[in-house]
Structure 1
């Protein structure tokens, strides 16, 4: 039958698209991504309010707090500072204990006196940084005035600007998060769709349905249809999840680097499309090596360990390790797009890495095709790779 692989691929796509477990999992993943982005956007955009106590008569502390409140408002630091005036130190401590105040600022005595920002627990880091900066400026201004000069004169020429010579505007923390997300997408796509193709193969083998199918469809085309169908589903799933992520990121502070993130996502889709063909072929062999559903845990374990290893290593890799992994399939599916986002990959490096991945995929498919045809018709127990590879071609129907 000509183009039988198209019928098989179409059936795989339809069956998977109508599978309730797959649809529920997909919806859960979309909701999780949307919820995470929404929570991040909320946390970044909210304004934290702090009530800071100051004892009546502590003029320097009151002045510093009023200045800090003005600075926070004018610089849009997402901090709102309210000054709470109390009668004594004991009243300030009581306000901290009953949580009517978040912190208490007291000024130092004389030249050597230190300022103290107290809290019933550890004061908030952002609040502490704001108050410390304001107090430092206030003390310096007072001493500059006493010396007959100004703060600007004392600090002239002391500004330090940061510069990144590679010109890449992406923050390292964002690169790390992107690496985690891409590794997660690879893991979910590979394991989810791979397990489905292995399950489909063993279901047909265990029910002896494959013996009927093999009389009309060559096993080579049967395998090709399953690989293509599963690849289409896996790719569509990742495109959907990536699209949701990019659209959500456009509503956050990450919108400025969307062009770089979009380019990285395109590279990931290309690498995943090529690499998943090998993953799907190997999972199909894992299904053919089993004789019953219970055997899948054994036959798919090596693939699961490989994919899990890629997931764990790639998103945490850095430096030379990441450069090496970006050329080694299947780790390159994640590592090379991350390097593109990080800006340390030359224009030709993704192309070379993709060529290596393509060759590795071709080798995996050819190897899997031989093992698949050799194991699919063998029953009575689990089939080893050696037995599958050495099976007599005459015993494989529709080769």
Structure 2
């Protein structure tokens, strides 16, 4: 006895989209590669932060005392720099040691102070330590000769930095995570959007869509494609975010993980609303084309919109960032960045998400009409005006 499913058509299409993609090797390999790259980047960052930079400093007889002070004071200037002192007989021995890589740099006095000579490239960590220690030593000696102290000479000269919200390290972490949010949204919308549009074109070009249209309403076909690709994008996003937060807990920035959880949850909500709107537009771009070659032309406005979102999310600041955080669909990437930075009133994300949801609803309504009226037209590329005014 045969059985018939009672599931709605849109759910069947959604299931087909998810199953066909999630079992596709390219999808799985791409996801695994991205996770591997993410883990590798986090691991490399943690290793770099914990790594001690070991350098060798050469000193001739006229600079042994100063070089010894540099080696002893290195840990106070940079706790990740370990300076080993190598005593050299004279200038010729110093140059030979540099050429043979026996020392990383040679410290010696010159007419107007001290010079740090290296073979062909500057040792940045060593330079920073030498500059700080030499300056302190020379100031101490000059102060003693003048009958005063370094503290008295430097009184009132200290310059500190402050933030209205948080501190410098927190701001740097928020900036980095904000960029990751923008990048993930851009990549997901571009990759899944292109795949969605391409599948629409393939069905249209092969005339399979005419068979499907005879069996189910086209709005169900659109809903299933959009929801299926949205589900896949969300699965990938949640995997990346989970790996990122867990990986971050093994780095020196692990104390920020709890503070990042809230903004990450907000980002998921903004991602969902923004992606649905863009996915519907990608489906429209596919329906307007009759051949794969037409997709570049029909998707150009959408590609430009996504580039504007990416660069806006990365570069906007100040009042421009505040305004953009309420303007859909740019708000999908800008508001999460503002939430990360802090200082956002409790109602602002709610208003921005509400406006984005309204934009998504309008986009779905307009896109559904354009999609239905353009999908079955196979006489060539369809313009937006033709699709809008075409008969049902």
Using structure 2 for the length normalisation, give the TM-score: 0.91
1:99 correspondence with 2:98: no
- Relative distance call for 1:183 and 1:167 in structure 2 (3 A) is closer
- Relative distance call for 1:212 and 1:347 in structure 2 (3 A) is same
1:4 correspondence with 2:9: yes
1:294 correspondence with 2:293: yes
Structure 1 residue 370: deviation in Å? 0.6
Q: Assess if the C-alpha contact under 8 Å between 2:287 and 2:374 holds in 1.
A: yes
Decide which moves more: 296-305 or 354-363. Answer: 296-305
Residue aligning to 1:135: 134
Residue aligning to 1:283: 282
Residue aligning to 2:31: 26
Please give the alpha-carbon distance, in whole angstroms, between the structure 2 residues aligned to 1:305 and 1:165.
35
- What is the 5 A alignment of 1:1-399? 3-56=8-61, 58=62, 61-73=63-75, 77-107=79-109, 113-147=112-146, 150-152=149-151, 160-167=159-166, 170-393=169-392
Structure 1 residue 185: deviation in Å? 0.5
Listed one character per residue, the Cα deviations across residues 279-310 of structure 1 (whole Å, up to 9, x for unaligned) are 11111111211223332222222212211222
Structure 1 residue 148: deviation in Å? 5.2
Q: Assess if the C-alpha contact under 8 Å between 1:69 and 1:82 holds in 2.
A: yes
Structure 1 residue 80: deviation in Å? 1.1
Structure 1 residue 160: deviation in Å? 5.0
Please give the alpha-carbon distance, in whole angstroms, between the structure 2 residues aligned to 1:65 and 1:324.
55
Please give the alpha-carbon distance, in whole angstroms, between the structure 1 residues aligned to 2:323 and 2:208.
45
Q: Assess if the C-alpha contact under 8 Å between 1:170 and 1:257 holds in 2.
A: no
Structure 1: gaps (5+ residues): 394-399
- Name the SS of the counterpart of 2:253 in structure 1: helix
Residue aligning to 2:3: none
Listed one character per residue, the Cα deviations across residues 20-64 of structure 1 (whole Å, up to 9, x for unaligned) are 2222222221122122222222222211111111112x2xx3233
Q: Assess if the C-alpha contact under 8 Å between 2:205 and 2:291 holds in 1.
A: yes
Using structure 1 for the length normalisation, give the TM-score: 0.89
Q: Assess if the C-alpha contact under 8 Å between 2:57 and 2:103 holds in 1.
A: yes
Decide which moves more: 334-343 or 154-163. Answer: 154-163
- RMSD over aligned CA atoms reads 2.3
Structure 2: gaps (5+ residues): 1-5
- Name the SS of the counterpart of 1:53 in structure 2: strand
Count of residue pairs brought into register by the alignment: 387
Please give the alpha-carbon distance, in whole angstroms, between the structure 2 residues aligned to 1:348 and 1:73.
47
Listed one character per residue, the Cα deviations across residues 353-374 of structure 1 (whole Å, up to 9, x for unaligned) are 1111111111100000111111
Please give the alpha-carbon distance, in whole angstroms, between the structure 1 residues aligned to 2:167 and 2:367.
41
Listed one character per residue, the Cα deviations across residues 142-178 of structure 1 (whole Å, up to 9, x for unaligned) are 3444455554565567655443232356544434332
Q: Assess if the C-alpha contact under 8 Å between 1:54 and 1:85 holds in 2.
A: yes
Please give the alpha-carbon distance, in whole angstroms, between the structure 2 residues aligned to 1:168 and 1:83.
36
Listed one character per residue, the Cα deviations across residues 93-120 of structure 1 (whole Å, up to 9, x for unaligned) are 22222221111112467xxx51222222
- Name the SS of the counterpart of 1:77 in structure 2: coil
Decide which moves more: 264-273 or 289-298. Answer: 289-298
- Name the SS of the counterpart of 1:64 in structure 2: helix
Please give the alpha-carbon distance, in whole angstroms, between the structure 2 residues aligned to 1:167 and 1:50.
35
Please give the alpha-carbon distance, in whole angstroms, between the structure 1 residues aligned to 2:268 and 2:354.
15
